[in-house]
Amino acid sequence: MQDELPPDARLALQRGNLIEAIKIVRDRTGLGLKESKELVERHANAVEGEPAPEADEWNRLLSGGAQGLPAEAIAALAQGRKVEAVKIVREATGLGLAESLKRVDEHMHGERGQSAPHGAFDPMAEPGRVPSGGGVKWLAIVLVVAVAAAVFFFVSA
C-alpha cells in the first residue's frame, strides 16, 4: 500500500517520537516538511486497520514524490506558462507558493528530489573560491582614475 509509512517511521511513531518519524518520511519519500508532518499525523491518528483519511491524495503525492506534477501543469510548462503551472500545482496539492514554485522549477530542470543551492552545477567549481571575472571592469576603473589624475595635474599646473 502506497500510503503506508516506512517501517523505521512506524517504529519511531510507536516510540512516541513524532519528529524522528517525520524526518524518516522526508528522507524516504522526498516529500516536503509539511506533507511529511501531515502524513505522519494522519497515521498517528488513524484507527488500526483502517486507511488514513484522504489516502488517495497521499497515494498521489507519494507516487510522484517531490516531482509529481499534475498533467495540466506539465502541459502549461510545455507552452511556456510557468506562472499558470505553479497555480495548478498549488490548487492540486494544497501546497504553499514557495513549495509549488520549487516543484515546478525542479521539474523544469530535471532535478530529482533536491535542488542545487546556487544555480546550475559547475563541474569545474572549486569549493571556497570566489569567482573572478571583473578584470575588464577593474581595467576600466584604473584607466578612468589615471585620466582623471592626469587632467587634474595638467589643469592645476
Q: Per-residue b/e over 116-128, b at no fewer than 16 CB within 10 Å?
A: eeeeeeeeeeeee
- The pLDDT assigned to 148 comes to 95
Closest CA to 106 of 96, 116, 95: 116
Is the pTM here over 0.85, yes or no? no
For the chain, give the number of residues: 157
Q: Give the pLDDT confidence of 10-42 residue by residue, as tens digits.
A: 888 888 888 898 888 888 777 788 888 888 888
Give the CA distances from residue 102 to residues 50, 70, 149, in Å, rounded to whole numbers and listed in that order. Answer: 33, 14, 51
pLDDT tens-digit readout, 42-75: 888 774 555 554 555 555 555 444 456 777 888 8
The alpha carbon torsion through 55, 2, 99, 33 (nearest 10 deg) reads 90
At 13, which amino acid appears? L
Query: Which residue from 37, 31, 34, 19 is spatially nearest to 96, judged by alpha carbons?
Result: 34
